[in-house]
Structure formats: C-alpha cells, structure tokens
Amino acid sequence: MSFRVERSHVVFKHLIHVGPDVDAEAVADIAARRDYTKQTRQIPTPKGPLKEYLFRPKTNPQSLIVFSSKGFVIDAQPSENVLPLFRDAYDFYEKVLGDEAMTATVLMDINAKIEVFSPVPVKEFINKLYISDVSNLSFSGKELYPHGITLASGSGKFPEEFIQITIQPLPKDPQRRLAVMAVYRSTELDDALKYIEKIDGNITKILEKISAK
C-alpha cells in the first residue's frame, strides 16, 4: 500500500501587490456569459468596505472564483479543479486590464489542506524525523511528544519564493490518516501554476521519503 490523497481543498490568491485596480463589475459581465452564477458581498477592510464578486461554475458549485478590485481568488476542491478555474479567472483578468496587466506586481499565495491515507501508523510516521529520546522533553511538568512535522523553504519575506509543509494526524482518524497543510508564495506565475499542477503527487512523494527514513 502507499500514501493516497483522499480529499483536497485549495485557496489560490492572485492579488495585485502594486499596480492598477481591477474593474470587477466588468469581470462580472464577462463571467455571466461563461455559465457562472454571481453573488456579491461587502468585506470590511482598514480602508473601508471592499466589494467582492463571487462566481460559481454551474457544473461545480462547491468551487468558486472571487474577484475584487485587488485581483482574484480561486477556492476549489478537489485540487484538480483549481487550474480550469484559474484559466477562466486569468482570462477575465487580462480582458479587463488589457495592457495594464503587464505592469502589475502580483503575489500568488496558495494554501492547501490535504487529507492523506497513511499505509503506516501515523504515530510511527510522525516519529520518523525525531530523535529517539524526544519523549523525555517536558514543559511545565507536562510530557511533550511529536504531534507533527513542519518543513520549509525560503524565509517568507516578499518577494522570495516560500514553501511550508505541515504534517499532522487527521483529527477524525489520527491513527491512519494525515492532515497536510501546504503554503506557497511567489511572484512568478509559471512557478505557482507548476506547483498546483503537481501538488498531490509532490505531497505523496515527500511522505514516502519521510516514511523510508
């Protein structure tokens, strides 16, 4: 048996860090012709209310595209639904901004929650990267033990590419399933898309490498 992704939920933010605002009302006109349903909402911000447009594909109503003047967000499950929605959202974005799209500095911020079946007991897996006497550690008289693994690349400072993977027991089945939280930040669109395209496979590969330790 091997590690197997059972559920995944991805939030992919494509937000303008420096550059022109997006005319979200114009985006709504385009999306209406692409078989999307539309809702609006007001989000409070330090600079005042921000109007957001929520577009749901009729064929996949549990996923959505959210547009505002600052860019767009893809909220999709499972992970393979992200890229089709991104292609539509980016098409809307380019059509509305035109040549100005090339002048924007955009930050991609991706957060994924992935549930994975583990072929080995979770407690045994979590202990793989810890020293054997870790159970001797205590805090305020309470024994401490490994509850997860966190791996990272990059400092997290803008505009450096940053990756962080946190692996913990899945609360609803802590013996045989893992909850993997994956964070990715970059200003390079192609790199972000490649990350999403391979996310499930890369997660299982890293779990297999840890298990083989």
pLDDT tens string 16-63: 999 999 999 999 999 988 889 999 999 998 888 889 999 999 888 889
How many Å apart are CA 206 and CA 153, to the nearest integer?
14
- Which residues, in sequence order, are bridge partners of residue 173? none
Q: Does 28 share its domain with 91? A: yes
- Tens of pLDDT along 79-110? 999 999 999 999 999 999 999 999 999 999 99
Domain stops at, among 85, 103, 121: 103
> Is the pLDDT confidence value at 67 over 90?
yes
Domain harbouring 115, CATH code? 3.30.530
Domain residue limits at 36: 20-103
> Is the pLDDT confidence value at 206 over 80?
yes
pLDDT for res 134: 58
Residue owning tokens 């007001």: 42
How many Å apart are CA 95 and CA 89, to the nearest integer?
10
Q: Does 111 share its domain with 200? A: yes
Q: State the total domains in the chain.
A: 2
How many Å apart are CA 105 and CA 163, to the nearest integer?
20
pLDDT for res 79: 95
Q: Does 149 share its domain with 174? A: yes
> Is the pLDDT confidence value at 128 over 90?
no
Specify whether the backbone of 153 is left (phi greater than 0), alpha (psi in -120 to 50) or beta. beta
Nearest in space to 78 (alpha carbons), one of 56, 59, 62: 62
Q: What mean pLDDT value characterizes the chain?
A: 92
Helix (H, G, I), strand (E, B), or coil: what is residue 126?
helix
> Is the pLDDT confidence value at 172 over 90?
yes
- Rounded to a whole number of angstroms, the CA Rg of the chain reads 20
pLDDT for res 131: 66
Positive or negative torsion for Cα 180, 185, 190, 191: negative
